[in-house]
Structures are given as structure tokens and as C-alpha cells.
């Protein structure tokens, strides 16, 4: 496939919006209710992983590590980073059985 942006595209952006919203809620709950250990959904790590992988992909795009002929916009590079974040988090959940050790 010559253009990976067509593969990622607008559907990935629409799929990423609820994911980012959920991760933002978990982050805010974890920061706001640090002392409440009963809330298993409160964790800052999914949003942290999203931000770091998106910034890594954006930096890789600007430094030509991701070829700009295939991924021709910074938005597509961010979406590639978010896709990487989902892969990392699903892999972590598979290895740890979904428990949060953080």
C-alpha cells in the first residue's frame, strides 16, 4: 500500500476520540482521587502512554523516520502513534491479565 494515511484516516480519528476521552477520565480520577484506592478504573498510565507514543510518532515523522511519502501529515503521524499506544496497552493487559500494578 502506497499511502498509509488512507488506511489510518478519518475512521481512526473517530475511533480514537472515545478512547482518549476514557483515558482522560481515568487520568483525572487518578489525580483527583489519589487516596481512594477502591476505584480500579482510576489510573494515569493509559493517557500517559497515549501522549508519549503520539509525541514519539510526531517526532519520528518530523525527523523522517516515518517516511513522509506514505504518511503525509502530522495528524496521520499522531494517529499512528495512538494506534501504537493501543497495541502497547492491549499487549500489557494480555501479559498482566488486566491488573494494574502502577
* Full pLDDT tens readout for the chain, 102 residues: 455 656 666 677 777 788 888 888 888 888 877 666 666 677 888 889 999 999 999 999 999 998 888 888 888 888 888 888 888 888 888 888 765 544
- The pLDDT of residue 28 is 87
14 lies in some domain: yes
CA distance 78 to 56: 9
58 lies in some domain: yes
Cα distances from 28 to residues 16, 34, 42, 102, in angstroms, run 18, 10, 8, 15
101 lies in some domain: no
20 lies in some domain: yes
- The pLDDT of residue 10 is 65
- For residue 34 the three cell numbers come to 489519589
Could you give the number of structural domains in the chain? 1
Give the domain range for residue 66.
Answer: 4-30+40-96
91 lies in some domain: yes
Q: Which of 49, 46, 45, 42 is nearest to 28 (CA)?
A: 42
85 lies in some domain: yes
- The pLDDT of residue 1 is 47
| DSSP classification of residue 61 | H
78 lies in some domain: yes
Amino acid at each position: 500500500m502506497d499511502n498509509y494515511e488512507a488506511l489510518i484516516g478519518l475512521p481512526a480519528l473517530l475511533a480514537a476520540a472515545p478512547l482518549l476521552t476514557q483515558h482522560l477520565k481515568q487520568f483525572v480520577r487518578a489525580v483527583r482521587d489519589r487516596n481512594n484506592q477502591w476505584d480500579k478504573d482510576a489510573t494515569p498510565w493509559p493517557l500517559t502512554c497515549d501522549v508519549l507514543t503520539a509525541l514519539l510518532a510526531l517526532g519520528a515523522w518530523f525527523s523522517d523516520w516515518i517516511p513522509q511519502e506514505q504518511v503525509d501529515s502530522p495528524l496521520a503521524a499522531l494517529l499512528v502513534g495512538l494506534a501504537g499506544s493501543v497495541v502497547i496497552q492491549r499487549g500489557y493487559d494480555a501479559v498482566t491479565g488486566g491488573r494494574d500494578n502502577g
